[in-house]
A and B are shown apart, each in its own frame.
Chain A
Amino acid sequence: MWPWRDWVIDAIKSNMPYDQFVTWQIAGDLLPDATTTQKLATAFNRNTPMTAEGGVVDEEWRLNYVFDRTETISTAFLGLTVACAKCHDHKFDPISQKDYYQLTSFFNNIRELGMTGDDGDYGPLLALPDPETQSKIDQINKDINSIEKNISLTKKDLETFYAYKDELPSQKSIDKKLIAHFPFEKTGKKPKIYIDGNSNIKAAAEAPEVVEGISGNALKFKHDHDQLIIKETLIPNLEWNDAFAASIWINTSQKKPNFTQTILGSAGGKNELWRGWDLYLDQNNFLNLRLINVMPSNMIHIQSEDSIRVNEWNQITFSYDGSGKSNGIKLFKNGAKIIINSIINNLYKSIKPVSPVFQKGLVERTRPLTIGKAKEASTGDNGLFLGKMDDFRFYKDKLTALEVKMVYDNTLSKIEKPNERLIKDHWVNSDAKIKVLEKDLKTKREAFIKAYFPVLEVMVMEEMEKPRTTYLYNRGDYTSPAFPVETKVPHVLPPMKKGLPKNRLGLSQWLFDKENPLTARVTVNRFWLMMFGQGLVSTPTDFGVQGSMPSHPQLLDWLAIDFVENKWDVRKLIKKMALSKTYQQQSISNERLTEIDPTNVYLSRANSSRLPAEMIRDNALSVSGLINNKFGGESVKPYQPSGLWREKNTFSQFLLDYKESEGEDLYRRGLYTFIRRTSPPPSMMAFDATSREVCTIKRQTTSTPLQALVLLNDPQFFEASRVFAQRILLEAGKTIEEQIDYGFRLATSRHPEKEEVEILKEMYSSQLKYYKSKPSEAYKLVNVGETPYNRGLSLSKTAAMTLVANTLLNHNETYTKR
């Protein structure tokens, strides 16, 4: 998700107007002619935690993500806690249960998975090629287009050339494309159970029964483990620029709601991104063919318009031309082409199978072709095929409609003259000129796949063509939809203006409509909270009946109106706050103030506040000079005690072990630290950082002994102390007083009082004595952390000064704003 973070930082840096900043994040993809950047901004709504646990019910979790988005938007922009209304209405709550589900409807139209895999990103995805790769891809696309044009021109010429041809191709020419043929006549013996006596094809656990088939015998699939596995040495794993085709006779005995039946394919399971391809019958016995890079978006998926009847023999054939497009697939039933619809047509990355590899993540691996069952369960649907199958053929090329018909006729020993159109089509498409051009095309597509291979993808929002129906769920339970609801905003708030689209874009425009009483106030209040340590409404996430009344209602209104009139200029707003007399007050209280205004509601003084977790570290790094202020890029992994990831979770291979960054990356600002929600960085968690599981507006501020331990002992803080000490010794004057003064000022932004200098001096002298007498201890101390010790400096002085510096970093004045 780091490209999205880069976008956020960039937007803040360039002071993007707040309404635009939010609109892009909520609905960038829906803006007219949306740019890649606008689409990237929608990643905001994909920060929802996703489960990868095998066996969960997909719909239950998909809905959880929809709910999470709804609640995040309400909390962040409306200051409303709508989650209460998820289960039922409440007597005094103006947000009804219907309101809640109407609001969810804005976020319910994303094609996404409820259960994902242990590693990887899941669609909708946005590819983000760097400019160099982009131009490479553009060039390849141009080449592909020109070859395709050339092919269609050549075909036109050829049509005239073959106008009178009515000769049939030889059976031999078709057989040349055939790389595997199994008549399914017999099964072997346990334990290997070879089918047709061929060791390249075997049954998994039990052998399917041999029964009478369409030509000779057939195999009957009836048990949970009846499946055939064909070694990849016989039928290799193909890429999407390979043309291939297959035909098989099926006779299914099942049509079952929510269950599919896999005919054949090599698609992977949930921990393999489902990558590969497969042909299956869905719950209505429609035929489906998919070529998958990753579910549910980077793939092609087509579906037949008619279903296959149960208990009837049909020969199913598909032919795929290697174009990576859904119109490159043709489906045939009993030798005749059938109508298909494209469901998804969005394939650009490889479909070669991958598998999780220890400590590495997903790596390309071969996978055998399976007949009669999907690769892996865990979805509740094992894709078990029930019924009979016969005569399976696999071709490593596409087939023309004529060839398909001939194969069909051949198995039934029928002799029937095909029509002329088919014959002409066959010769046009099989002409040597076309074949040469297609070979070029394949090479170009190969280059296309290669160019896309390293391209980063980010999870974003994208509407489905046909919106889902949203329901109100009793008690929030996915199994209890009560009735469908419309796409609407809560009824207590002004309605959406006529003409606003009923989607995320309309929602965002409504948020920033002048009539909307909440967005500006909620936003201003949040910035006030950040600046003053306490909001004008002390419950920043609750502007509803349960929240607090604003302490200064007119001030809040004035700021909100001013913010809107200034075109949602955040920088201007902050400047206004910072320059106010109220902000510039000091935080020291006195007895009278404490008595009259104990919680400082009336702003009689400033509030002091401890820096947030990230900034405490940034501050220490900055004071020491270690900080690396580089902008943007991938997350980094600073020092962390070893073993924390592995002891919690061994499922993700990509994130099995925490691998610390090297060199300058150890010292980047806290917002670049890699956050693993299930095992967040402990030193930050000690300082009240959240684990990012739910949208949090306001962090807690606590004092704990673990905080003391972090500042005293965590190598990142101790190393910073040491480098800070080196800086003092190098940059400050010669006397110890000067040095302490310099360090004190860097840490706390003020000069120390004489008494304070004396305290630190006393400590320094005592510890200097110790380290002079124990150079080996001093040596150990100055070698904490990756940054090498400056050998030009005195060992004992550096050691003693490190403790002074460490004391300064532990002084609460260093990390408290007063």
Chain B
Amino acid sequence: MNCNHDHSDKNYSRRDFLTKTSLGLGALSLGSLMSPTDAYGNSNFLNLLDSNKQKLPHFAPKAKRVIYLFQSGAPSQLDLFDYKPKLNEMFGQEVPKSIIGEQRLTGMSAGQNSFPMAGSLFNFKQHGNSGAWMSDLMPHTAKIVDELCFIKSMHTDAINHDPAMTLIQTGSQLPGRPSIGSWLSYGLGSDNKNLPEFVVLITKGETGQPLYSKLWGNGFLPSEHQGVQFRAGKDAVLYLENPPGVSANIREEQLKYLNKLQQIQHADIGDPEILARMSQYEMAFRMQTSVPEVMDLSDEPEYIFDLYGKDSKTPGTFAANCLMARKLAEKDVKFIQLYHQGWDMHGTLPKSIRNKSREVDQATAGLIKDLKQRGLLEDTLVVWGGEFGRTNYSQGLLKPDDYGRDHHPRCFTIFMAGAGIKKGITLGATDEFGYNITERPVHVHDFQATLMHLLGIDHEKLTFKFQGRRYRLTDVSGNVVNEILS
């Protein structure tokens, strides 16, 4: 490390500091690999040999980064994407016994004696050249269906939110595993030196099913791979701001001296871990500028706000977060995870879903259009979807203009767009009651395998040994869905 500036050097600038000290993250992994002091010891070393990690990516990636617009609470596929006129014809009649079969129901509706079918109150139409079906709930997204790939045959193992979200984000229903973003960060490292590889944005002020930090946690992977939440407001990343009374200059000076002290120590002891720590201080310092920069939307022109919708001017909204996601994508952040809560509509669904759809529709379409016009959609994968679907029968009292829908793991719809994905196609189908899958089932692990494939990772090869077992994101299953790859 080279930092010979004299203290009296008035021209000492931040840029200087950065260029002269740019060790970057490379030093970190090198440091932890070589360090005899690493408490992770042998097994870490073995992990590196074991996991074929040094060969990553396993093949040429189609996508460089992912923006995952997670719709927490499970949006109703029957009111948004999966058109089932049969349910309207048979409105109020019992779901045929043969359709439900022996399948388990959640504790919230299993106690019902009656399972009356609820056809959607919303109008469905085919859109674009691809003729994809969508209801009138998301008119902006309906206009870009030719960019999208719908999977209508998604299914999951869990019937409740927490295990289902944990499954789709970490590959296991039980907590304790690394999330998708952490695996990617672990496997692929960083493409930028000023921002974390894995950033989490949550719509502010929404309530609904809890979003626990395990969803973006590193599990048993080293904690540098955990998702870093960027929050709307003053302290975008926790502890990012200098304490009161400590100016940027003062801090810069302090770090310079801290660096000097640690250099002396390194000269004495030769522990590469010290270098790794020093580089982390540089990264932290860079983040103090780079994060507020990326969070600042004031430079965006008016037509961009128009594209994402008027909410995008309010920090912390889903729309503002979508815009932020684009900025992060521009900076090569590898995994950008958005969460939007509130899709869990057990009762008064028609009313709630109107509002919810409005919150996400224009921004979702805006983001995809914006990425496209900047050429970023070619190497960015966008995913939109929740953790499971909703039932075709009404939970609670069915009225002509009102119904609720319970959790339904047997089928749900997600859509993807961008890097490596075919445009304007629909994969899979459900039966005429929208209850069971009839064509090309895609399990959550298949989806995860595909996502990793697009990033150049063989999901069976990226493993980490923990407590005697090699773990991977897709547990013991998962096949790449080749039909949707372009």
Contact = CB atoms under 8 A, between A and B. Distances in A.
Interface in A665-679: 678-679
B301 interface: no
Of A647, A678, A781, the most chain B CB neighbours within 10 A belong to A647
Nearest to B41: A534
A649 interface: yes
B39 A533 contact: yes
Contact of B107 (A378, A587, A589, A599): A378
B273 A599 contact: no
B254 A807 contact: yes
A383 B264 CA distance: 73
A688 B42 contact: no
Given A678-B214, A703-B28, A83 B39 contact: no
Contacts of A816: 273
Contacts of A818: 269, 271
B393 to A, nearest CB: 12
B213 A678 contact: yes
B397 to A, nearest CB: 6
A73 to B, nearest CB: 14
Interface string B104-128: 1111111111100000000000000
A64 B468 contact: no
A688 to B, nearest CB: 5
B7 interface: yes
A395 B460 CA distance: 68
Contacts of B462: none
Given A381-B111, A647-B204, A601 B42 contact: yes
A495 to B, nearest CB: 23
A283 interface: no
Given A707-B280, A755-B264, A760-B261, A713 B210 contact: no
B31 A589 contact: no
Nearest to A373: B111
B417 interface: no
A739 interface: no
A685 B277 CA distance: 17
A704 B280 contact: yes
B243 interface: yes
A40 to B, nearest CB: 27
B39 A708 contact: no
A818 B239 CA distance: 28
A49 B104 CA distance: 24
A544 B240 CA distance: 44
Interface string A280-300: 000000000000000000000
A783 B235 CA distance: 19
Given A381-B110, A679-B213, A599 B45 contact: yes
A346 to B, nearest CB: 26
B33 to A, nearest CB: 10
Interface in A697-711: 697-710
A691 B175 CA distance: 10
Contacts of A686: 223
Interface in A351-406: 377-384, 386
B239 A701 contact: no
A587 B398 CA distance: 72
B105 A380 contact: yes
Contacts of B41: 533-535, 538, 599
B330 interface: no
Contact of A608 (B235, B271, B406): B271
A434 interface: no
B261 A479 contact: no
A712 B36 contact: no
A284 B273 CA distance: 67
B211 A648 contact: yes
Interface in B305-326: none
Given A588-B269, A678-B213, A693-B214, A538 B42 contact: yes
Contacts of A687: 223
Contact of A542 (B175, B239, B257, B467): B467
A779 B258 contact: no
A538 B468 CA distance: 11
B212 A807 contact: no
B202 interface: yes
Interface residues of B, number: 95
Interface string B216-256: 01001111101010010001011111111111001101100
A777 B159 contact: no
B207 interface: yes
A640 B377 CA distance: 38
B161 interface: yes
B107 A710 contact: no
Nearest to A803: B254
Given A83-B469, A588-B269, A702-B222, A56 B244 contact: no
Interface in A209-264: 223-225, 259
Contacts of A64: 174
Interface string B186-214: 00000000001000001010010011111
Contacts of A648: 210-213
Contact of B273 (A703, A755, A770): A703
Contacts of A535: 41
Nearest to B275: A703
A598 interface: yes
Interface string A785-818: 0000000000000010001001100111100101
B80 to A, nearest CB: 22
Contact of B239 (A539, A587, A709, A807): A709
Interface string B35-47: 0111111110100
Interface of A: 49, 51, 53-58, 64, 75, 80-81, 83-84, 87, 115, 205, 223-225, 259, 377-384, 386, 479, 533-535, 538-539, 541-542, 544, 546-548, 587-589, 594, 598-601, 605, 607-610, 641, 643, 647-651, 678-680, 682-683, 685-688, 691, 693-694, 697-710, 712-715, 718, 753, 755-756, 759-760, 762-763, 766-767, 770, 777-784, 799, 803, 806-807, 810-813, 816, 818
20 contacts: A51-B162, A53-B161, A55-B160, A55-B406, A379-B111, A538-B43, A609-B39, A647-B204, A648-B211, A648-B213, A693-B176, A700-B40, A700-B223, A704-B224, A709-B237, A762-B257, A767-B253, A770-B250, A777-B247, A818-B271
Interface of B: 7, 28, 31-32, 34, 36-43, 45, 104-114, 159-163, 174-176, 196, 202, 204, 207, 210-214, 217, 220-224, 226, 228, 231, 235, 237-247, 250-251, 253-254, 257-258, 260-262, 264-265, 269-271, 273-274, 276-277, 279-281, 283-285, 287, 397, 406-407, 467-469, 476
